[in-house]
Amino acid sequence: MTRFSDFLRESDLSTLKLIKELYLLFVNLEPDPISIEFQMTNLQERNPLIKNEDIRKFSKKIADIFPQISYDDELIMLRILPNDFLRIIEILNSNKSAIDNAINDKKIQIKDKKKRYNNETEKYALILKKMYDSAPKGYQMTFVHLFGIKYSKELKKIPLKQIALLATGRESLWVEIGKGMKLHGYVTITEEIKSEPTIIDQKYFKKLYDELNIFRKKEAEKVQKDIRSIFGDKTLHELIKNMPKNSNELIKIYGFGPYKTQKYGPELFNIIKKYENYIKPGTYTYDDNQKLKSNRIWTPEEDRQLEKEIEQGLTDREIADIHRRTIGSIIYRKQFIENMKK
């Protein structure tokens, strides 16, 4: 037999509400002098949302607490002798405050739990959003799966649909998160996924490349020399790859000795500093990102830029360096533009 105090402590909110409803019905019931039969489905008159299955479970619990009560599962009915009924009413009356307190405590617990869930949901939604938004093009689903693998344990008690909706605007992605969670234990992540993953946007490589290229072009114009006399293409790529912040780091770069370090260092550091939040040292690779291509399609913007560079009198080498194309590609395009004007 379960003690009534234990019953109140262990019951969920819906059960506690049912015991209060039962108490209110019992105290207003006129007992039969021989036997009392109470149809438990009468509780639905006070709360139509209560299901028969819930009433059955509740009735069995009541019969367990009070051995004086017999329960007919087929009829969903309680049977009580008059003297036993009065004793039960006495117990319920003496525990009226305890019932109300248990209901209030349970409501507070649920509220705190919801708040905790909301905080956790927002926390992991933010992590997923940063991973999803930072993923390279075509790899968003991969990063959703990695998110599920990485945070599998933490996500078990958090609503995945809400996380997916908050993070991506697509509730349906909760399925993909779940797929990742199922892979936990089978897939080993060798590189830790951070809450703010450092996925480099390729546009920052190009922007820094262009700024450094403009810098050496201006310096070359001052002394009327080829831009490679300031520093060559390999050195330019090494600057992006290593992101030097001071003279000690710059002098280690190929093509920089004490003289060039002292002469060009301060301005180069100012240029590089603007990108230090977007490019981490070692993330740039020339072979993967900056190979010269002669067969890459020319855009209208590039053609207009090429015409301006021709008007400025830049050499084919200088133009090739700016566009990151072969000299042969520049010569061919110049001829094409000239033919189009005829």
Bridge partners of residue 291, in order along the sequence: none
pLDDT in tens, 179-189: 989 888 776 55
Could you tell me which residues come within 8 angstroms of residue 182 by beta carbon, excluding any fewer than 6 positions away?
148
pLDDT in tens, 216-230: 999 999 988 888 889
Q: Are 184 and 148 in contact (CB under 8 A)?
A: yes
pLDDT in tens, 235-279: 888 999 899 999 999 999 988 988 999 999 999 999 999 988 888
Kindly tell me if the per-residue pLDDT of 163 is higher than 50. yes
Could you tell me which residues come within 8 angstroms of residue 99 by beta carbon, excluding any fewer than 6 positions away?
8, 16, 19, 20, 23, 92
The two three-digit tokens of residue 261, written as one number: 């370090």
Query: How many Å apart are CA 257 and CA 134, to the nearest integer?
Result: 38
User: For the residues 184-212, what does the mean pLDDT come to?
Assistant: 64
Confidence class for position 4, pLDDT limits 50, 70, 90: confident
| pLDDT for residue 271 | 95
Q: Which long-range contacts (CB under 8 A, 24 or more apart) does 286-289 make?
A: 286/237, 286/241, 289/202, 289/205
Q: pTM value?
A: 0.33
The two three-digit tokens of residue 278, written as one number: 């977007």
pLDDT in tens, 101-147: 888 888 877 776 655 556 788 888 888 888 888 887 778 888 899 89
| pLDDT for residue 176 | 92
Q: Rounded mean pLDDT of the chain?
A: 79
| pLDDT for residue 112 | 64
The single-letter code of the amino acid at 10 is E
Q: Count CA within 13 A, CB hemisphere, residue 1.
A: 8
The two three-digit tokens of residue 160, written as one number: 């995945």
Query: How many Å apart are CA 57 and CA 252, to the nearest integer?
Result: 77
Confidence class for position 23, pLDDT limits 50, 70, 90: confident
Q: Are 42 and 24 in contact (CB under 8 A)?
A: no
